[in-house]
Amino acid sequence: MEKRVARWVESYVKAWRSGDAAEIGALFSPGAEYHEWPYATDWIGREAIVEGWLSRQDWQAGGWEFEWSLLKITGDTAAIGGTGVYRELGTFSNLWTVTLDRRGKCVMFRMWNNEISV
C-alpha cells in the first residue's frame, strides 16, 4: 500500500502541475469525493473534481513547490502531510487523508489546508 500511495501522490502533483484534465481524472474513481477545509470545497464525482481543479490553475502563477511525507496508513486510507509553497499565494501546510480503491483510484480525498505566516 505504501508504494501505491506514493505513486498516487506523485501523480497528483504531476496532474496539479500540468493542469491536464485526463491526468486529473485518472486519479479519481467516477464517484469520488473531494473535500477541503477551511474552504467550501465539496466536489462530488470525477467530472466535478476535474472542473474544480481546472478553475484553480491561476493559483500556480509564478510557480510552486510541494513536499510531502506519508504519516500513516490504516487499511485503504493514508494520512499525508505536505507543504506547498506558492510564489504568488504563500505557504500552506496540508493534512490529507486519501482513500484508494483496489485499482489505486481515490474514492475519498480530504484536505485540511492552513496558510503559514512567513
CA dist 86 to 18, 47, 53, 68, 115, Å? 15, 26, 16, 15, 11
Cα distance between residue 68 and residue 54, in whole Å: 22
Spatial distance between the Cα atoms of 29 and 16, rounded to a whole number of angstroms: 17
Query: The whole model's pTM is what?
Result: 0.90
Q: How far, in Å, CA of 100 to CA of 106, rounded?
A: 4
**Is 68 within 8 Å of 82 (Cβ atoms)?**
yes
CATH architecture, domain defined by 2-116 = Roll (3.10)
pLDDT in tens, 79-107: 999 999 988 888 999 999 999 999 999 99
> Vertex 41, ends 36 and 47: CA angle to 5°?
110
**Domain boundaries, given as residue ranges, for the chain:** 2-116
pLDDT in tens, the chain (118 residues): 899 999 999 999 999 999 999 999 999 999 999 999 988 899 999 999 999 999 988 877 788 899 999 999 999 999 999 999 988 888 999 999 999 999 999 999 999 988 886 5
